[in-house]
Amino acid sequence: MDIKFSKDNIAFEKEINDLDRLALDFTSALDKCKIKYVIISGYVAILFGRSRASEDIDLFMEKIDYPKFLMLWEELEPNFMCINTSDPKEAYTEYLSNNTAIRFSKKGEFVPNMEIKFPKQELDFWSLAHPIKVIMNKDVLVISPLELQIPFKLVLGTEKDIEDARYLYKLFKERLNSELIDQFVRKLKIGEKFRKYLS
């Protein structure tokens, strides 16, 4: 794997798959509306080569007001549909504003889909405040720092999550900020799991 790391950027080339295409198409609407986001969870491992399928791609977007959400909705409308509701007002007030995720899929498909949430916990806001730009071929996706994603996968704790954490950690061990990982491991109280599965 040929991959270049710099402070806030990771650059590499790959053959785009359907999940990558979904992420790129959706986030291009966010970019057009100037809405900040970070991709989190399983797709981060898939982006960097883990060979497994996924039903969804999880993403935090910054808290926005309804007019801006409507702008995003209209930008998405030609190609995407909201699975939860066809009413943008309901999507915003009943779901997003109540800290409930909404899902968008390509029109005519149910999976895979984008699962969108507003940040709720301190960790979510921290992710949005420390975005990592991934330059894939000539396109850009923004992810949450690996130093948080890896320990957080251990918190989630299913076998799939532990496998994702191990994959990312073993792949990028030499490039990660080990002090930052240690801090998250301590804060999340997952030292034992970290030693058991990643050491």
- Tokens representing 100 are 């409930």
> By C-beta, is 19 or 44 nearer to another protein?
19
> By C-beta, is 54 or 144 nearer to another protein?
54
CB of 52 to another protein, least distance (A): 7
CB of 26 to another protein, least distance (A): 16
Three-state SS string over 173-198 comes to HHHCCHHHHHHHHHHCCCHHHHHHHH
Q: Cis omega (within 30 of 0) on the bond before 112?
A: yes
> By C-beta, is 44 or 96 nearer to another protein?
44
CB of 123 to another protein, least distance (A): 25
Q: By the criterion CB under 8 A, which residues form the site for another protein? A: 1-3, 12-19, 46, 49-53, 159, 162-163, 166-167, 170-171, 197
CB of 47 to another protein, least distance (A): 10
> By C-beta, is 49 or 191 nearer to another protein?
49
> By C-beta, is 33 or 46 nearer to another protein?
46
CB of 198 to another protein, least distance (A): 10
